[in-house]
Chain A
Amino acid sequence: MTDTVVHEDPEPGKDRPAPLITLRGVSQTFKSKKGSLKAVDDVDLSVGPGEVLCLVGESGCGKTTTARMAAGLARPSGGTVEYEGRDIWSMSKQEFAAYRKSVQYVHQDPYASLNPIRDIHRTLVTPLRKHGMAKGRKDGWDQSAKLLEQVDLTPAESYLPKFPHQLSGGQRQRVAVARALSLNPKLIIADESTSMLDVSIRIGMLNMLGKLRDDLGVGFLFITHDLAIAKYFGWHGRIAVMYLGRVVEFGPTPQVINDPQHPYTKALLDAVPEPDPDLTRTKKAGGGLRSSEIPSLADLPTGCSFHPRCPLHEADTCDVLRPELEAVSADRKVSCHVVGRASPLHVPAPRTGGNGE
Chain B
Amino acid sequence: MPTTDPPKTDGPILSVRDLHVAYKTGDGKTVEAVRGVDFDLYPNQSLALVGESGCGKTTLGLGLLRLLPKLGSVPKGSITFNGRDGSSVDVLALRKQELRKWRWRDAAMVFQGAMNSFNPVLRIIDQMGDTIRAHPDGGRKPSKKEIWERSAELLRSVRLEPNRVLPSYPHELSGGMRQRVLIAMSLLLDPKLLILDEPTTALDILTQRAIVDVLHELRAERKFAMVFISHDLAIAAELADRVATMYAGKIIEAGTARDIFYGPRHPYTVGLIKAVPPVVGDLPELASIPGAPPSLSNLPSGCSFAPRCEFAEDRCTERDPELDAITERSAGTTHAAACLRWEDVTYERKVVERV
Contacts and interface: CB of A to CB of B under 8 A. Distances in A.
Given A235-B353, A275-B237, A277-B237, A199 B275 contact: yes
Contacts of A238: none
Contacts of B288: 200-204, 207
Interface in A236-262: 254, 257-258
B52 A273 contact: no
Interface string A262-299: 00000111011111111111010111010011100000
A152 to B, nearest CB: 10
Given A235-B353, A292-B176, A271 B4 contact: no
B210 interface: yes
A58 B279 contact: no
B278 A198 contact: no
A161 B262 CA distance: 44
Contacts of B262: 277
A270 B71 CA distance: 44
Nearest to B256: A277
A197 B350 CA distance: 24
Nearest to B55: A198
B355 A254 contact: yes
Contacts of A170: 292
A258 B281 contact: yes
A232 B286 CA distance: 9
Q: Which one of B208, B210, B234, B292 has the greatest number of beta carbons of chain A within 10 Å? A: B234
A227 interface: yes
A231 interface: yes
B208 A271 contact: yes
B206 interface: yes
Interface string B236-260: 0110100000000000000001100
B204 interface: yes
A126 to B, nearest CB: 27
B213 A286 contact: yes
A99 B289 CA distance: 37
Contacts of A313: none
Contact of B234 (A225, A269, A275, A292): A275
Nearest to B50: A199
Contacts of B210: 286, 292
Nearest to A259: B355
Q: Is the interface of A mostly helix, strand, loop or mixed?
A: helix
Contact of B279 (A235, A257, A292): A257
B275 A202 contact: yes
Contacts of B204: 58-59, 225, 294
Contacts of A272: 205, 209, 234, 279
B238 A281 contact: yes
Interface in B200-228: 204-210, 212-213
B7 interface: no
B72 to A, nearest CB: 22
B294 interface: no
Q: Which one of A227, A292, A294 has the greatest number of beta carbons of chain B within 10 Å? A: A292
B119 interface: no
A168 B53 CA distance: 11
Given A254-B283, A272-B234, A228 B209 contact: no
A168 B292 contact: yes
A278 B258 contact: yes
A204 B204 CA distance: 24
Interface string B135-171: 0000000000000000000000001000000000000
A229 interface: yes
A199 B209 CA distance: 20
Interface in A176-231: 198-204, 206-207, 225, 227-229, 231
B213 A285 contact: yes
The 8 A-B pairs with the shortest beta carbon distances in the complex, nearest first, are A204-B288, A271-B209, A273-B234, A273-B238, A228-B277, A277-B257, A58-B204, A232-B277
Interface of A: 58-59, 168-170, 198-204, 206-207, 225, 227-229, 231-232, 235, 254, 257-258, 267-269, 271-281, 283, 285-287, 289, 292-294
19 contacts: A199-B272, A200-B271, A200-B275, A201-B52, A201-B288, A203-B277, A225-B205, A229-B277, A231-B279, A231-B283, A269-B280, A272-B279, A273-B237, A273-B238, A274-B234, A274-B238, A275-B261, A279-B280, A285-B209
